[in-house]
Amino acid sequence: MSSFQYRRASYGFGSQLTPIGKRLLILYSVIYVLELFCEHWFNMPFVVYLQLYPLNSSGFHVWQILTHPFLHNPNAPIGFLINCLVFYFFAGPVEQALGTRRFLYLFYLAALGGALCGLAFSLVSGFNSAFLGMMPSLLTLIVVFGLLNPEATILLMFILPIKAKFISYGTVIVTLLTFLAKVNPHGAYHLGGILFGYVYFQGPRYLFDPNLIRLRYMEWQMKRRRSRFTVVDGSKNDDDHKPTYH
């Protein structure tokens, strides 16, 4: 068992948002309200310049890689509220378990990974539509929460109790199947975000943890020292089998 252990985060329907989580949620909400005013009240094309377009589109600009995660479809306010609920319930426990720095890296790396995978598949038919939103990061939070707390019980749709690990597995399976079936035009973004987030979550834990590196070095030193001696059965009284020291 690894000597590195994540602190188990409890789960409930009370607010567990940290100050960083609250600021991200407020920023996301303020930007969306600004979108609604610009798009529906003042007829100002706000989203069209900041959402992420396919590589072969004339609307593509490099800055959209950074701006698109903070947006949401101004014609889908219900989807916006669902995203806020998902962030509200899952961001706090994940940040408490990983720490603020790793949480922020995880959140934004998932968004960046989703953008890179989405752009890579934007030349494939069925995946060449513009994308915006933090869904890759939100899906990553759900998956990581299930890995941190596999036996935690979640009320799916506030009604059906289900283990967090099954929510995590189901999120990956549904995202993969909708991507392969090409029924979700943004499947590459979602799947890429989960992939990059998972690699970041697992990588430092097993590859770069200083405790594990020190343990492996000590094991290597022990093997090296043992190889310097020859073990001879002491029950045999034979001068030809004397211990040899190097």
- The partner residues of 163 in beta bridges, in order of sequence, read 153
Structure tokens at 74: 């101004």
C-beta separation of 35 from 117 below 8 A: no
User: Looking at residue 6, what is its pLDDT?
Assistant: 42
Residues of the chain with pLDDT under 70: 1-15, 158, 204-214, 227-246
179: Cα separation from own chain's centroid: 18
User: Residue 13: its pLDDT value, please?
Assistant: 45
Q: What is the pLDDT of residue 223?
A: 75
What is the pLDDT, as a whole number, of residue 203? 78
State residue 10's pLDDT score: 43
Give yes or no for a contact between 146 and 168, defined as CB atoms under 8 angstroms apart: yes
Torsion, Cα of 127, 136, 55, 203 (10° steps): -120
User: Domain 19-207 carries which CATH code?
Assistant: 1.20.1540.10
In whole angstroms, what is the distance from residue 15 CA to residue 11 CA? 10
Give the whole-angstrom CA distance, residue 103 versus residue 99: 6
